[in-house]
Amino acid sequence: MDRADNRVLVAMSGGVDSSVTALLLHRQGYDVVGITMKTWDYATSGGQRKTTGCCSLDDIHDARALAVDLGFPHHILDIREEFGEFIIDNFTSEYLSGRTPNPCVLCNTHIKWNALLRRADLLGCRWIATGHYARVRQENGRYVVSKGRDAAKDQSYVLWGLSQAALARTLLPLGGFTKAEIRQIAREAGYENLSRKAESYEICFVPDNDYRAFLRRRVPHIDEKIGPGVFVDSKGQVVGRHQGYPFYTVGQRKGLGIALGHPVFVTRIDPDTNTVYVGTEEDLKKHTVFVRDYNLIKYPDIKEPMDVWAKIRYKDPGGPAKLLAEGNMLELQFQTPVSAVAPGQSAVFYEGDDLVGGGIIV
Backbone phi, psi, residue 146, to 5°: -130, 165
132: nearest Cα among 116, 62, 142, 299: 116
204 is catalytic: yes
Q: Which residues of 80-103 are buried (b: 16+ CB within 10 A; e: fewer)?
A: beebeebbbebbbebbbebbbbbb
The distance from CA 209 to its chain's CA centroid, rounded to whole angstroms, is: 15
Q: Which of 54, 55, 107, 125 does the annotation list as catalytic?
A: 107
State which H helix or E strand residue 128 sits in: strand 125-129
Q: Among 4, 7, 56, which Cα is nearest to 34's? A: 7
The helix/strand/coil state of 214 is: helix
What 3 state SS string does 275-343 have?
EEEEECCHHHEEEEEEEEEEEECCCCCCCCCEEEEEECCCCCCCEEEEEEEECCEEEEEEEEEEECCCC
Distance from the Cα of residue 327 to its chain's centroid: 26
Distance CA 205, CA 212 (A): 13
Amino acid at 357: G
Q: Is 107 a residue of the active site?
A: yes
Q: Which of 55, 104, 125, 204 is catalytic?
A: 204
Residues with catalytic annotation?
107, 204
